[in-house]
Amino acid sequence: MAVLLASACTPGPVPVDAVQAADTIDVGLTDFAIATSAERLVDGVVTVQVTNAGATAHDLRVAGGDVQRATSVLPPGASTVIRLNASGEETLNLWCTLPGHRRQGMEATLRVGS
């Protein structure tokens, strides 16, 4: 007798014990640093609210594992939202791609999962 396999849209495990992991995070860009409202993200879809609180233009690149996301260049005071699907035990690197900004301190890391 044939056995039907589970639907392809079966959701993945929910990290119910990841009390400190965030599914929404605020990232503030300043001259020249990146501040994050959490250090650890849930294993799954994460909403990133990016605000340029600096006096000059900045952008944000997020990369790690299969995650490759970037904002456009944000003028001072501007904000935008990006969503990323972080999964597994990965470290995400965040930085500003404008020339010299990363070297001056505009980089940060986020952990994914427990």
Contact positions vs Cu ion (CB under 5 A): 58, 96, 98, 101, 106
**CB closer to Cu ion out of 58 and 69:** 58
71 to 4, 40, 75, 89, 90: CA distances (angstroms): 42, 20, 12, 24, 21
Half-sphere exposure of 39 (CA within 13 A, CB side): 1
Helix, strand, or coil (residue 82): strand
Closer residue to Cu ion (CB): 30 or 87: 30
Minimum Å gap between C-beta 55 and Cu ion is 11
CB of 7 to Cu ion, least distance (A): 44
Question: Judged by CB, which is closer to Cu ion: 40, or 102?
Answer: 102
